[in-house]
């Protein structure tokens, strides 16, 4: 189709050569890197994630490291989720907001020790943001991007594969918890996490020169369970109701609109960025909400990420922020970012190239 010109701005993943050897067919961009999205067999890759185990290059999930005596203080200023109970070895899903309460990223936070945290970020530049906040508030903390490259092992057989490599202790990890380890001298962190609801782990490689070796170690260990390459799966994540920051959000989305209200602790201190705005937004009731939309018809459509307008009784109620064919539901499904007054069960319409497609609003997740 077309090529991509190399430049110093397009940073290579440690697993890039490994994914080329696997026959990667397409990429998307994320944090100034390429994220492999498919290996030419989308349906097979989907069912492998649902029934087996899939190996993903998710090195685009960059780590923003906060290190120093004020690392914990900065982490708490950056997120309106109360971190006071978070201990070393624990991860938490957090929202980052600006001063207006607008969502600017939704990372996993990993507490490595009292003086060191990682924000495993979605697609926006939090390195700039954290450095600016640290400097403006006079904090003793160094903000950096360490040499860390996550690989995901996702699917119901993922635990078998990861336990066969690292040992049975991985079975005792709670969701989002992690532990430092190594395999054949390669330093890693093993966490129970990943952007699917099919179970699995993420292995954070801490030596970027070892990407090919780690990829092949996991690939070989996974052979008994028929492991194969894949990537964050569009259909599965929509079925499971996982949010894609930047895809399902726009420049004015607040966390309450996209089902992240449960990660906002309204009682955190006033120095937490955005908390005063979030209290006001919460008191006023959110203007928009995120629901699911199931379109009528049992053939895949080409509707993608165009934020198509959704209509109800002839007036616009919001947008369809994504749309994908679900192999399990055998319907086209997507996320609807719609007025707070809409309800599950309502019939709505979207227009594609002059043609009307009807559907029904439902609660998320779909499955
Ligand atoms: N793993 C790591 N880094 C990441 C992601 C990841 N960075 C980018 C992106 N993904 C961050 N966003 C999310 C979004 C959802 C979840 C994780 C990261 C997630 N959510 C579950 C849910 O919504 O049901 C569980 C939330 C909970 O129980 O707190 O897993 O995947 N390293």
For the chain, the average pLDDT equals 97
Number of neighbouring beta carbons within 10 Å of residue 358 = 12
At residue 3, does pLDDT exceed 90? no
Is this structure's pTM higher than 0.95?
A: yes
Asked if the bond preceding 290 is cis, omega within 30° of 0, the reply is: no
* Residues 228, 219 contacting (CB under 8 angstroms): no
Q: Is 190's C-beta closer than 6 angstroms to any atom of ligand 1? A: no
Assign 258 a pLDDT band (cuts: 50, 70, 90).
very high
Q: By alpha-carbon position, which residue is closest to atom 19 of ligand 1?
A: 195
Contact 122 CB / ligand 1 (< 6 Å): yes
Strands 228-230 and 54-57: parallel
Structure token digits, residue 244? 């894609």
Q: How far is the CA of 337 from the centre of ligand 1 (A)?
A: 20
Q: From atom 23 of ligand 1, which residue's Cα is the shortest distance away?
A: 242
Contact criterion met (CB below 8 Å) for 243 and 260: yes
Pairing of strands 288-295, 355-362: antiparallel
Alpha-carbon span 221 to 218, nearest angstrom: 5
Whether residue 194 has its Cβ less than 6 Å from ligand 1 = yes
Structural tokens at position 211: 């990407």
In the chain, the percentage of residues whose pLDDT exceeds 90 is 95
Q: Find residue 36's DSSP bridge partners.
A: 27
107: Cβ below 6 Å to ligand 1?
yes
Mutate to test the pocket of ligand 1, among 56, 95, 120 (most ligand atoms within 8 A of CB): 120
Residue 41, C-beta contacts closer than 8 angstroms, at least 6 positions apart: none
* Angstrom distance (rounded) from CA 55 to CA 278: 38
Nearest ligand 1 atom to the CA of 243 is 14
Q: Give distance in angstroms: CA of 242 to centre of ligand 1.
A: 8
The verdict on the CB of residue 31 being under 6 Å from ligand 1 is no
Lowest mean pLDDT among 127-131, 236-240, 245-249, 349-353: 349-353
Q: Mapping DSSP to helix (H, G, I), strand (E, B) and coil, where does residue 124 land?
A: coil
Output the residue whose Cα is nearest ligand 1's atom 3: 120
Mean pLDDT of 73-88: 98
pLDDT at 22 (0 to 100): 98
Tokens 């309106």 sit at which residue?
A: 80
Look up residue 72 and give its two tokens. 């914990």
Mean pLDDT of 298-327: 93
pLDDT tens figures, 299-313:
998 887 889 999 999
DSSP of 146-204, one letter per residue?
-S-EEEEEESTTHHHHHHHHH-GGGGGPPTT-EEEEEETTEEEEEES--SSSS-EEEEE
Which residue minimizes the CA distance to atom 24 of ligand 1?
242
Task: Please give the pLDDT value at position 185.
Answer: 97
- How many angstroms separate the alpha carbon of residue 149 from the centre of ligand 1? 16
Above 80 in pLDDT, residue 1? no
**pLDDT the model gives residue 119:** 98
């Amino acid at each position: 189709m077309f090529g991509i010109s190399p430049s110093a701005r397009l940073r290579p993943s440690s697993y890039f050569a490994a994914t080329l050897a696997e026959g990667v067919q397409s990429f998307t961009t994320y944090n100034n890197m390429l994220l492999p999205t498919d290996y030419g067999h989308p349906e097979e890759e989907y069912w492998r994630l649902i029934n087996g185990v899939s190996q993903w290059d998710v090195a685009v999930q960059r780590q923003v490291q906060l290190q120093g005596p004020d690392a914990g203080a900065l982490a708490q200023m950056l997120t309106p989720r109360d971190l006071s109970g978070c201990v070393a070895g624990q991860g938490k899903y957090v929202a980052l907001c600006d001063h207006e309460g607008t969502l600017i990223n939704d990372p996993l936070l990993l507490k490595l020790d009292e003086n060191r945290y990682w924000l495993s970020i979605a697609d926006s530049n939090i390195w700039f943001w954290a450095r600016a906040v640290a400097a403006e508030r006079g904090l003793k903390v160094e903000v950096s991007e360490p040499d860390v490259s996550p690989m995901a092992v996702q699917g119901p057989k993922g635990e078998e594969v990861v336990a066969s490599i690292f040992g049975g202790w991985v079975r005792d990890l709670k969701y989002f918890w992690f532990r430092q380890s190594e395999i054949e001298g390669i330093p890693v962190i093993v966490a129970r996490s990943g952007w699917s609801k099919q179970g699995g782990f993420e292995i954070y490689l801490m030596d970027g020169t070892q990407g090919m070796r780690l990829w092949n170690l996991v690939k070989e260990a996974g052979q008994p369970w028929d492991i194969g390459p894949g990537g964050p799966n569009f259909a599965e994540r929509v079925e499971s109701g996982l949010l894609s920051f930047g895809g399902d959000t726009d420049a004015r989305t607040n966390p309450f609109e996209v089902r992240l209200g449960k990660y906002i602790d309204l009682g955190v201190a006033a120095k937490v960025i955005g908390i005063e705005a979030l209290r006001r937004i919460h008191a006023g009731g959110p203007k928009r909400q995120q629901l699911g939309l199931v379109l009528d018809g049992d053939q895949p459509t080409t509707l993608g990420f165009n934020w198509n307008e959704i209509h109800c009784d002839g007036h616009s109620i919001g947008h369809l922020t994504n749309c994908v064919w679900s192999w399990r539901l055998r319907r086209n499904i997507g996320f609807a970012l719609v007025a707070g007054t809409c309800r599950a069960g309502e019939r709505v319409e979207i227009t594609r190239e002059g043609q009307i497609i009807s559907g029904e609003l439902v609660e998320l997740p779909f499955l």
